[in-house]
């Protein structure tokens, strides 16, 4: 059975919601970031990156949201979480998720994890000051150029939606009102109204 390693308030929420929406069997195991659980020898054997999400499968461990999300969609095709029969539409979905991980999440991470990219406190403080504007720039692009509405890919819910919802959830912590972006805000509300999303949030935040 699939086992998702997650920590609350991290990007692992995207893969967790997709698993819940897939209808597939899985278990979710919390990694305790407060005690640096992602750096224990046991966890590093599982995922040498020392990050979440990680998805343990019968054939090995997968990492990286864009890969895990595609794997969930392909493993549970009846849930129609991705346009698997249309390479162009699938590439659009992958491009969206790639933007989430390599631009939006990275922009956000410069607030709390600046130590990854600089050692001195002044530089880390300087990075923090730019995060809000960078996130606004990212979400302006999402609002104007990417999100079709009501879901990211249009009428059909897809693996892009849990990932956008996860990134939108970071906005408040950056002091940004999601209502600056009406389509993003509507997608966020629709996600919050989804019982599957509510079940995952209950588990993660309990």
In the complex, the smallest distance separating the C-beta of residue 114 from a second copy, rounded to whole angstroms, is: 8
Q: Which is nearer to a second copy, 180 or 189 (CB)?
A: 180
Q: Which is nearer to a second copy, 59 or 205 (CB)?
A: 59
In the complex, the smallest distance separating the C-beta of residue 110 from a second copy, rounded to whole angstroms, is: 5
In the complex, the smallest distance separating the C-beta of residue 77 from a second copy, rounded to whole angstroms, is: 9
Q: Which is nearer to a second copy, 25 or 206 (CB)?
A: 25
Q: Which is nearer to a second copy, 66 or 169 (CB)?
A: 66
**For residue 48, what are its two tokens?**
């040498």
Interaction site with a second copy (CB under 8 A): 48-49, 57, 59-60, 62-68, 70-71, 74-75, 87-88, 90-92, 94-95, 98-99, 101-102, 105-107, 110, 116-120, 122-123, 126-127, 129-130, 134, 141, 144-145
């Amino acid at each position: 059975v699939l086992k998702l390693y997650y920590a609350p308030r991290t990007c692992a929420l995207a893969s967790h919601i997709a698993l819940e929406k897939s209808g597939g069997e899985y278990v979710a195991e919390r990694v305790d970031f407060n005690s640096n659980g992602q750096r224990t020898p046991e966890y590093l054997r599982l995922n040498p990156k020392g990050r979440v999400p990680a998805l343990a499968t019968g054939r090995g461990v997968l990492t990286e949201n864009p890969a895990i999300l595609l794997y969930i969609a392909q493993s549970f095709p009846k849930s129609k979480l991705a346009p698997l029969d249309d390479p162009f539409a699938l590439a659009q979905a992958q491009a969206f998720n790639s933007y989430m991980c390599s631009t939006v999440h990275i922009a956000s991470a410069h607030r709390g994890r600046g130590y990854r990219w600089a050692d001195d406190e002044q530089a880390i403080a300087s990075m923090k000051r730019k995060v809000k504007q960078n996130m606004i720039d990212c979400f302006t692009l999402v609002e104007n150029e990417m999100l079709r509405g009501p879901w990211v890919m249009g009428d059909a819910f897809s693996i892009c939606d849990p990932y956008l919802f996860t990134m939108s959830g970071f906005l408040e912590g950056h002091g940004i009102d999601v209502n600056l972006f009406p389509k993003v805000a509507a997608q966020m509300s629709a996600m919050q109204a989804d019982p599957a999303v509510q079940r995952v949030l209950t588990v993660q935040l309990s």
